[in-house]
Structure 1
Amino acid sequence: MMRAFCEKAMVYGECSKPLGEPERHITVLLNPAAKDGKGKVQFERYCAPLLHLAGIKVATVRTENEGQARDLMEIMENTNAVVVAGGDGTLGEVLTGLLRRADHSEAARKLPLGILPLGNTNTSTAAIWGFRGNPEPRHLAEATMAIVEDIRRPLDVMEITPLQSVEEGESPSKPVYAASMLEWGAYRDAVDRKDVYWYWSFLKKYMTYVFSSYKDITWDCAAEVEYSVPCSGCSRCRVNIDQENTQRNSAAETPRRWWMAYIPKAKPVVGRKSDEEKIDYSSIINEECGVMHKTTFNNICDVTVSTRNTPQSLDVPSYALSLKTGPANIGTLEFIKEGWSREWDKVKSYASEINIGEIILRPSEKKTEKGTDQELNIDSETFEVRPMKIKARPSAVTIFAPADPPFTAHSG
């Protein structure tokens, strides 16, 4: 298999380049701790050879601590692309650093992202490349060849902004960006405790649901909720955004020079509409756009907010998020059965699921019965449970991937 991929990559490396065109240069942000060090070995075995054979100049940066990838993306320059060699956590840091920049619109266009599934959890890449569980070597090679072949498409993300508490006098917090999902509840807590049962060897991922069923975990995701219905674009939500983007692009434009005619044009992004195909949203009226609906969560064991970059949410529109909730007052046996099913079949069951445009969550309780802070996961990274606003950010960044991702249900 690798011989076939290497021969394909060599074709690109042996192609002569037009006079004056610079060599492609990419920066790889490698998490050496991914998969307990196995991610680094897999990158060197299945990914790095293809990049070098394709004649791409590669600068590898090994992240040494949490938050380093985010900090690097806030100042990243002088490269043609950034490759994320890690899992969901590393990708989340890269997205957060990139989209927090003052010039985030221009930076997201200039710095396309390659995503190599080398972490313990690879939710987004599983949806992109159509695999369940652990990725196979061919998935790593295919993701690398998308970088070599310069195949691009937009990626939708979600923005999570902690809400300022007037009573506690908190200062405004910066948003966090995620490609796949936010998870809160008993199943998330059980998975987080998995490594405690290391002595069960390969059975620990099943036994964690047995032992966690009577532990202090989040059985009740109680919260006040406000949400809006999805809107594909109308005079309320898109006109102001388009005007701001036009003003920003006009301010960023540089005077045209004669020598610019010899500079190669930027690679078009598959799936992103050109200027000629833009829709006139000023004539579209949607009375429901931005209208917030109120509800409450009581006695439910599981809350998930996800983008369409997850294997079970591929049919969610780019401008929407999927809100999924688990059953109320779940029993011990039902909890264990569902947990085992998630581990065995890699499919999660929910009591209800709706598409939303944005959502505001105000948890009723932030502490556990023992007085510790409740926790949730954002792209597999742990955060404290706090009031927050979550909204969709369609086509926020550009990635190297086919325009139409394969469906995981049909993958081998």
Structure 2
Amino acid sequence: MAFVFKIFKTVRTHWKKSIAFTGISVYGVKFGIDKYEDEMLRRQYCAEAKVYGDQIAQFGGPNRKITVFLNPAASGTESKKLFEKNAAPILYLAGLEVNVVKTEYDGQIKEFFKFLERKHVDGVVVAGGNGSLLEVVTGMMRKEDKEFRQMVPVGVIPTGKTNKFATYFFGSDKQKVRRMLDSAMAIVKGATQKIDVIKLQGEDGRSTYALCSLEMGAYNDAKVKTPKYWFLGPLKKRFTYMWATVKRWPPVVGGTLEYMEAKETDVPKRTEKKKEPQKQQQSWITSLLYKITGSKKPVQAVQIEEEEDEYENEVLVKEDVETVEITLTSNLDKPQQKIKGIQMGLGPENISKTDFISEGWRRLNASVWSVGSDDNKQILCRKVKFTPKVKNGEELWYSIDGEQFEALPVEVTLLKNKLNVFTSVDKSPS
């Protein structure tokens, strides 16, 4: 009892130190628990992957060849460590033949694709963030061998700070470790899905390809500047929207907009290729693996690839716009949408500082996948052309799948069912 009174007296005398010590202790305990749960999760996924590898080794099945493009600079140089600790063991234990290519400079992945052939790989994997994935998609789409992207699926290991695409297929509500483990197991299990690709063509004829969105305007500019206010800690994300109302107001972007609105009555100039898709042959070893593991057999994507659409009596609506923001999205999160096209969102022409700050703060709690606001004017388009109006000494930027590009005249179209990607079984088409 005397010991208890002694502790009570010490806490009462040094209450500030006691509070600090208690806070640190609670944080330490939570940190330890999280690390333990992550380790148990890794062991669980590795045990599942080992079943696949053991069966392939026992029955002499062929090893799938996977090329991994690893960006060591992603996630503050933590990308390599995250990949080797979480994803790599699963891929190796599953019996995959893994070739890791560490990138050293921007554009290297696109150059590598010029020499990559189908006989070299059965799948391409990106371990990094938005920028690395953007390079892989662009490299795939620029290849002269058009069957390459149909036969070779793309996988994503989200080791970067942000990866919008991975949050759709593997969940934005999951902890980072689980998301990486799920993405690695998707590659092992081999379920694939055809998805649409956004084509962005400049005046010089060169094209960049994306999967999610293009954003431009005050909200994107404020979000990009958030890291500059690192000294404010957790308040920096809110401060950036407040500071945006001080430096430049009104925060409008202007330009000439041309678009063709998507309608059910649109008639393509040339018909789609009606080749029957070839079903991927499953070996008896693969079929046996699903029986042994109890996993649901993945359904391979069988959509017919469509050509880029050109339409009869194509009419473009042309108008000059001034708006707080412009967004163009692929509607990947709306697979059941009857009419495919680019979803264009136009923000208001005028907005009060209070409303701007409130909307910016609202977006802090929105999912990583969400783009713009539901209150923006929404138009579903077949084609969008935008020529920004840039004042002398002013710099305007597009955010394309989270990466910054100088705002230049651009034509945006949606290419349907152009890319084959690894996905979780429950997202695979049935």
Distance, in Å, in 1 between the alignment partners of 2:105 and 2:303 is 38
| CA displacement at 1:270 relative to structure 2 | 2.7
1:184 aligns with 2:216: yes
Distance, in Å, in 1 between the alignment partners of 2:298 and 2:320 is 44
Distance, in Å, in 2 between the alignment partners of 1:403 and 1:391 is 29
- AA paired with 1:345? A
Residue from 298, 302, 308 that aligns with 1:272: 302
| CA displacement at 1:153 relative to structure 2 | 0.9
Distance, in Å, in 2 between the alignment partners of 1:343 and 1:314 is 25
1:392 aligns with 2:424: no
| 2:167 aligned residue | 126
Distance, in Å, in 1 between the alignment partners of 2:339 and 2:50 is 36
Structure 2: segments with no counterpart, 5+ residues: 1-40, 278-282, 287-296
Distance, in Å, in 2 between the alignment partners of 1:398 and 1:218 is 43
Larger Rg: 2
Task: Please say if residues 267 and 311 of structure 2, whose CA atoms lie closer than 8 Å, have aligned partners that are also in contact.
Answer: no
Residue from 144, 154, 179 that aligns with 2:184: 144
- AA paired with 1:325? L
Instruction: Label 1:269 to 1:177 Cα distance change in 2 as closer, same or farther (>3 A).
Output: farther
| 1:89 aligned residue | 131
Distance, in Å, in 2 between the alignment partners of 1:292 and 1:18 is 61
| CA displacement at 1:19 relative to structure 2 | 7.8
- AA paired with 1:54? A
1:344 aligns with 2:362: no
| CA displacement at 1:8 relative to structure 2 | 1.0
The 3-state SS of whatever aligns with 2:144 is coil
Residue from 371, 376, 395 that aligns with 2:398: 376
| 2:115 aligned residue | 75
| 1:366 aligned residue | 390
| CA displacement at 1:217 relative to structure 2 | 7.9
Instruction: Label 1:305 to 1:234 Cα distance change in 2 as closer, same or farther (>3 A).
Output: closer
Distance, in Å, in 1 between the alignment partners of 2:211 and 2:314 is 25
Distance, in Å, in 2 between the alignment partners of 1:329 and 1:393 is 34
Instruction: Label 1:70 to 1:288 Cα distance change in 2 as closer, same or farther (>3 A).
Output: closer
| 1:334 aligned residue | 355
| Cα displacement string for residues 312-333 of structure 1 (whole angstroms, at most 9, x for unaligned residues) | x566558312111212211111
1:160 aligns with 2:190: no
Instruction: Label 1:290 to 1:214 Cα distance change in 2 as closer, same or farther (>3 A).
Output: farther
Instruction: Label 1:200 to 1:316 Cα distance change in 2 as closer, same or farther (>3 A).
Output: farther
The 3-state SS of whatever aligns with 1:399 is strand
| CA displacement at 1:293 relative to structure 2 | 3.5
The 3-state SS of whatever aligns with 1:222 is strand
| CA displacement at 1:207 relative to structure 2 | 0.8
Distance, in Å, in 1 between the alignment partners of 2:207 and 2:190 is 30
| 1:356 aligned residue | 381
Instruction: Label 1:230 to 1:268 Cα distance change in 2 as closer, same or farther (>3 A).
Output: farther
Distance, in Å, in 1 between the alignment partners of 2:338 and 2:402 is 23
| Cα displacement string for residues 72-124 of structure 1 (whole angstroms, at most 9, x for unaligned residues) | 12322312111011112111111111111111x21102321111122222111
| Cα displacement string for residues 144-176 of structure 1 (whole angstroms, at most 9, x for unaligned residues) | 11100111111211000012xxxxxxxx33100
| CA displacement at 1:336 relative to structure 2 | 0.9
| CA displacement at 1:268 relative to structure 2 | 9.4
Percent sequence identity over matched residues? 30
The 3-state SS of whatever aligns with 1:3 is helix
| CA displacement at 1:303 relative to structure 2 | 0.6
Q: Which moved more, 1:213-222 or 1:347-356?
A: 213-222
- AA paired with 1:294? V
Alignment of 1:109-124 (within 5 A): 109-124=150-165
- AA paired with 1:354? I
- AA paired with 1:372? E
- AA paired with 1:196? K
Structure 1: segments with no counterpart, 5+ residues: 164-171, 250-261, 407-412
Instruction: Label 1:295 to 1:405 Cα distance change in 2 as closer, same or farther (>3 A).
Output: farther
TM-score, scaled to structure 2: 0.76
1:294 aligns with 2:317: yes
Alignment of 1:170-181 (within 5 A): 172-181=204-213
Task: Please say if residues 82 and 114 of structure 1, whose CA atoms lie closer than 8 Å, have aligned partners that are also in contact.
Answer: yes
- AA paired with 1:177? Y
| Cα displacement string for residues 171-216 of structure 1 (whole angstroms, at most 9, x for unaligned residues) | x331000011101100111111112111111221111111122224
The 3-state SS of whatever aligns with 1:225 is strand
Alignment of 1:241-280 (within 5 A): 241-242=272-273, 270-273=300-303
Distance, in Å, in 2 between the alignment partners of 1:302 and 1:292 is 24
TM-score, scaled to structure 1: 0.79
Task: Please say if residues 216 and 326 of structure 2, whose CA atoms lie closer than 8 Å, have aligned partners that are also in contact.
Answer: yes
- AA paired with 1:186? A
- AA paired with 1:128? F
Task: Please say if residues 29 and 69 of structure 1, whose CA atoms lie closer than 8 Å, have aligned partners that are also in contact.
Answer: yes
| 2:46 aligned residue | 6
* More helix per residue: 2
Alignment of 1:43-58 (within 5 A): 43-58=83-98
1:22 aligns with 2:23: no
Task: Please say if residues 63 and 97 of structure 2, whose CA atoms lie closer than 8 Å, have aligned partners that are also in contact.
Answer: yes
Q: Which moved more, 1:9-18 or 1:52-61?
A: 9-18
Distance, in Å, in 2 between the alignment partners of 1:120 and 1:31 is 12
